Amino acid sequence: MDYSPMFVSLKTASVSIVFTFFLGIFAAWGVVSIENKTFRSILDGVLILPLVLPPTVAGFFLLYVFGIRRPVGAFLLEYFSIRIAFSWSATALAAVLIAFPLMYRSARGAFEQINENIVYAARTIGMSEWHIFWKIRMAVALPGVVSGGILAFTRGLGEFGATAMIAGNIAGVTRTLPMAVYSAVVAGDEATASGYVKIMLAISFVAVVSMNYFTLKEYKTPKK
State the pTM of this model. 0.87
**Nearest-angstrom CA–CA distance, 176 and 182:** 10
**Closest by CA position to 204, among listed 179, 185, 184, 178:** 178
Report if residue 224 sits inside a domain.
no
pLDDT given for residue 198 in this prediction: 93
The total domain count for the chain is 1
Residue 204 lies in a domain: yes
61 is a domain residue: yes
How sure is the predictor about 224, in pLDDT bands with cuts at 50, 70 and 90?
very low
216 closest CA partner among 150, 154, 143: 143
For the chain, give the percent of residues with pLDDT over 70: 95
Query: What confidence tens digit (pLDDT) does each residue in 9-65 have?
Result: 999 999 999 999 999 999 999 999 898 889 999 999 999 999 899 999 999 999 999
Confidence of residue 222 (pLDDT cuts 50, 70, 90): very low
What domain range is 46 assigned to? Answer: 4-219
- Torsion angle, CA of 149/151/152/154, rounded to 10 degrees? 120
Residue 220 has pLDDT above 60, yes or no: no
Q: What is the mean pLDDT of residues 81-96?
A: 93
CATH code for position 76: 1.10.3720.10
Query: Is 183 contained in some domain?
Result: yes
* Per-residue confidence band for 211, with pLDDT thresholds at 50, 70 and 90: confident
pLDDT exceeds cutoff 50 at 109: yes
The predicted structure's pLDDT at residue 218? 55
